[in-house]
Amino acid sequence: MPELPEVETIKRTLSPRLVGRTIERVEVRTPKFIVGASPEDFGRAVEGARIAGLDRRGKFLVFNLDYPAGGGGDTTDRDAQRAADRVAEGPAGRARPGDILVHLKMAGQLVWCRPGEDLGATRGKHTHVVFHLDDGNELRYIDLRHFGRVYFARGDAGDPVLSRALRTFESLGPEPREGGLQWESFRAGLASRNARLKPLLLDQSFVAGLGNIYADECLFRAGVHPLRRASTLSDKEARALYDAMWEVLAQAIDLRGTSVRDYVDGESRRGEFAERLQVYGRTGELCPRCGTPIERLVIGGRSSHFCPKCQKAPRTDV
DNA sequence: AAGGGCCCCTGAAAGC
DNA sequence: TGCTTTCAGGGGCCCT
């Protein structure tokens, strides 16, 4: 389940292999994965384009393409401009018209491969899009659950699925790390919300990139219960949560993500953060801090894992 | 603003 | 044992 650390790892593993390469041919095996254009139009548009940059925004991967006819500008200018835009725009950030956005949702994989490389029957069967590169290698989009999508930002503006995705992309909240989310605005954001913490952390317009796994881990490390109302946190608790986000995400990125099920990076390698998970998926196991059995509760339709002793339940609402 | 319901889809697990 | 059914799982949209 790729969340921020996994998508970041994919970006880092793919960048050196993709940036500067030209897409020679696109093979769309399962049309529904391409949003914004027919497979034919998508192929025609993208073939011959050069991958100028690879970015991550929340859980989206952003392929920035240079097109041979028009558009363009030299790469250095573009990169500088994009970096400047990101700082200037803060959380907003728009997709550029020629970009390809990829959201992997639960089980999507983006994998760099040698030509025709065999990834096994299951992954082979679920390989939906193949980008053939000018050095002969391939970038494959694989998805065992069929939830992910490849969005062509230059596609049909009237396509409701595309415009919804672009709207979602543009309304992403700040990145939790790297100078995105500032303490003061986080503190103020919590204070202004009555929502329960768990759904709030999963709200991508509040903060971008957390998913179910890291939300649970952050709450545990901060010692706050997932049902707590955001506005009821003390300064100390809010600070603990802010720091926990930073630490958990940094550690997870260091270990190249969490492979609970299907996740692998751009080189098909699994991440190693799963063994460091302290509560997620550990219902009934003992809390590493106090030895109390970890409990599971469904909140907002999502399973939540927490230690009932380290994360005190709110007095009301439970 | 908050929250419930629903849908996307497959494979694993549970049920018979 | 083997087949069928159920459900988990993340995210986001719609509706209230």
- The per-residue pLDDT for A37 is 87
- The per-residue pLDDT for A205 is 87
Residues A171-188 as b/e (b if ≥16 CB within 10 A, e otherwise) read ebbbbbbeebbeeeebbe
Q: Residue A161, SS3?
A: helix
Q: Which nucleotide is nearest to A165 (CA to C1')?
A: C12
From the CA of A257, how many Å to the C1' of B13?
26
From the CA of A96, how many Å to the C1' of B12?
40
- The per-residue pLDDT for A276 is 81
Terminal Cα distance for chain A, rounded: 28
- The per-residue pLDDT for A179 is 76
From the CA of A215, how many Å to the C1' of B3?
18
Confidence of residue A86 (pLDDT cuts 50, 70, 90): very low
- The per-residue pLDDT for A166 is 85
- The per-residue pLDDT for A221 is 93
From the CA of A144, how many Å to the C1' of B10?
7
Report residues 267-296 of A contacting strand C, contact meaning Cβ closer than 7 Å.
281
Q: Is the pLDDT of residue A222 over 70?
A: yes
∠ CA A249-A253-A257, rounded to 5°: 100
Q: Is the pLDDT of residue A21 over 90?
A: yes
- The per-residue pLDDT for A79 is 53
Q: Is the pLDDT of residue A74 over 50?
A: no
Q: Which residue has the higher pLDDT, A67 or A50?
A: A50
Mean of the per-residue pLDDT values of chain A: 84
Q: Which nucleotide is nearest to A171 (CA to C1')?
A: C12
Q: Which residue has the higher pLDDT, A300 or A315?
A: A300
* % of chain A exceeding 90 in pLDDT: 22
pLDDT tens digits, A96-151: 778 898 988 888 889 999 998 888 877 888 889 999 999 999 999 988 888 888 99
Cα separations (Å) of A163 from A3, A85, A168, A207, A213? 22, 21, 9, 21, 28
From the CA of A126, how many Å to the C1' of B11?
13
Check if A176 is active-site.
no
Cα(A104)–Cα(A127) distance, rounded to whole angstroms?
13
DSSP state of A29: S
Closest residue to C10 (CA, C1′)? A106
Q: Which nucleotide is nearest to A211 (CA to C1')?
A: C10
Active-site annotation holder among A12, A25, A105, A302? A302
Concatenated DSSP letters for A50-109?
Answer: EEEEEEEETTEEEEEEE-SSS----HHHHHHHHHHHHHHHTT-----TT-EEEE-TTTEE
- The per-residue pLDDT for A316 is 61
Cα(A19)–Cα(A35) distance, rounded to whole angstroms?
23
- Angle of helix A183-191 relative to helix A235-254, nearest 10 degrees, comes to 120
Report residues 133-152 of A contacting strand B, contact meaning Cβ closer than 7 Å.
144-147
From the CA of A144, how many Å to the C1' of B9?
8
- The per-residue pLDDT for A304 is 87
Establish whether the CB of A126 is closer than 7 Å to any nucleic acid atom in strand B: yes
Active-site annotation holder among A2, A5, A91, A174? A2
Check if A105 is active-site.
no
Establish whether the CB of A211 is closer than 7 Å to any nucleic acid atom in strand C: yes
Active-site annotation holder among A59, A140, A154, A198? A59
Confidence of residue A69 (pLDDT cuts 50, 70, 90): low
A199: number of CA atoms within 13 Å, CB side? 12
The reported pTM is 0.86
Check if A302 is active-site.
yes
Q: Residue A134, SS3?
A: coil
The runs of H, that is alpha helices, within chain A are 4-18, 39-46, 75-89, 121-125, 160-170, 183-191, 197-202, 212-222, 235-254
Q: Is the pLDDT of residue A280 over 70?
A: yes
Are the C-beta atoms of residues A295 and A308 closer than 8 Å to each other? yes
pLDDT tens digits, A151-187: 998 877 778 888 888 888 888 888 887 778 889 989 9
